[in-house]
Structure 1
Amino acid sequence: MSLSAESAAAVRKAASDAGMSVSGWVERTVGGIARRQAGLLAMDEYEAEHGAFTPEEREQARRTLRELGLLDVRVAG
């Protein structure tokens, strides 16, 4: 894997700020991204089979994710 010098410095800083090794930080971060993508794909497949989620279902999902600490309200609103 290759990174620009700027990205590599940002990764080193983020890992240091988190008290982690670079390898551990990259593993955690990339793993999280991969799990989110898999979840989004599963949602797309569900909607393709059963129809789109309603606005009420989407709001309930947001509430649940917030309650679980899995939704960053600074990003998601």
Structure 2
Amino acid sequence: MAVKKLSIALDESVAENAASAAAASGLSLSAWLNDAAERAIRIEEGLAAVREWELEHGELTAEELAWADEVLASVTRPDES
């Protein structure tokens, strides 16, 4: 995989917390930041898809949003059994 080297600036506390999170995950800071950026991109793409769907079909109802929240919570929280 090709990589592009960048020079970035982060708030000091963000840099420290990111470095700690990377170490706790057993990743380099670069790999951790790459993973975080990939997650943020997927979220933005998903939100754009929802906006596009709503333009064609109308806004999601409160009930539909509540259902989606329940589904997401069930797949993202640790197994409580």
For normalisation by structure 1, the TM-score amounts to: 0.79
Instruction: Report how many residues are paired.
Output: 70
**Structure holding more helix per residue:** 1
Partner of 1:52: 59
Match of 2:46 in 1: 39
RMSD of the TM alignment (CA)? 1.5
* Aligned counterpart, 1:20: 27
| Cα displacement (A) at 1:52 | 0.4
* Amino acid of the structure 1 residue aligned with 2:35: R
Q: Which residue of 2 aligns with 1:11?
A: 18
Gaps of 5+ in 2: 1-7
Q: Which has the larger radius of gyration?
A: 2
The aligned amino acid for 2:38 is G
Q: What's the % identity of the aligned pairs?
A: 31
Q: Does 1:69 align with 2:37?
A: no
Bigger drift between 50-59 and 12-21 goes to 12-21
> 1-side partners of 2:61 and 2:11: how far apart?
42
- The whole-number CA distance in structure 2 between the counterparts of 1:5 and 1:69 is 29
* 1:9 positional shift: 2.0
